Amino acid sequence: MSQFRTVAIVVAFLVLLGVGFLFLQGPKPHVEIKAEPLWTIGFFEITNTLFTTIFVTITILGIAIFATRKMSYIPDGLQNAMEAVIEFLYNLVENTVGPKHAPMMFPAIATIFLFVIVANWMALLPIFNAIGKIEEVGVEEDQFFHEVVEFQDVGVFAVVPGSEEIELHFEESECDGLEGEAKEECLVEGRAHAIEEAAAETDIDEGSKVGILLPFFRGVNTDLMSPLSLAIASAIFVEWWGISTLGFIGYGKRFVNVGRLARGNPMGLIDFFVGILEFIAEVARLISFSFRLFGNMLAGEILLLMMTFLIPLMLAIPFYGLELFVGAIQAFVFAMLTLVFGALAVTSHDDHDEEHGHQSGGEVAAAHQVE
Amino acid sequence: MDIVTFAPLLELTDDSMRFIGAGIAIGLGGFAPAIGIGWLVSKAMEALGRNPEAQPVIQTNMILGIAFAEAIAIYALVVAVMIGFVF
- The pLDDT of residue A84: 92
Residues of chain B whose beta carbon is less than 8 angstroms from a beta carbon of chain A are 13-15, 57, 60-61, 63-65, 67-68, 70-71, 74-75, 77-78, 81-82, 85-86
Which residues 6+ apart lie within 8 Å of A175 measured at CB?
A183, A186, A187, A190
- The pLDDT of residue B7: 61
* C-alpha span between A50 and A38 (Å, rounded): 9
> What is the distance in angstroms between the Cα of B78 and the nearest Cα belonging to chain A?
6
Q: What is the pLDDT of residues B16-71, one digit of tens each?
A: 888 899 999 999 999 999 999 999 999 999 999 999 998 888 988 898 888 888 88
Closest-CA residue of A relative to B66 is A333
* C-alpha span between B13 and B7 (Å, rounded): 8
- The pLDDT of residue A9: 92
- The pLDDT of residue A207: 67
- The pLDDT of residue A153: 66
- The pLDDT of residue A40: 84
Q: Look at residues A137, A135, A133, A132 and name the one whose alpha carbon lies nearest to residue A199.
A: A137
Round the average pLDDT of chain A to a whole number and report it. Answer: 83
Q: Which residues pair with A12 in a beta bridge?
A: none
- The pLDDT of residue B51: 93
Does A124 lie at the interface with B, CB-CB under 8 angstroms? no
- The pLDDT of residue A155: 66
- The pLDDT of residue A356: 43
Which residues 6+ apart lie within 8 Å of A225 measured at CB?
A35, A47, A49
Q: Which site among B68, B83, B86 would you substitute to test the A interface, given the most A Cβ atoms closer than 10 Å to its Cβ?
A: B68
Spell out, as residue ranges, where chain A has pLDDT lower than 50.
Answer: 353-366, 368-369, 371
What is the pTM for the complete model shown? 0.84
Q: Look at residues A192, A177, A208, A198 and name the one whose alpha carbon lies nearest to residue A141.
A: A192
DSSP string, B27-77: HHHHHHHHHHHHHHHHHHHHHHHH-GGGHHHHHHHHHHHHHHHHHHHHHHH
- The pLDDT of residue B46: 95
- The pLDDT of residue A371: 47
- Alpha-carbon separation of residue B19 from A173, B27, B84, B85 (angstroms): 16, 12, 6, 9
Q: With CB atoms and an 8 Å threshold, state whether A329 touches B63.
A: yes
Q: Please name the residues between 84 and 103 in chain A that touch chain B, using a CB distance below 8 Å.
A: 92
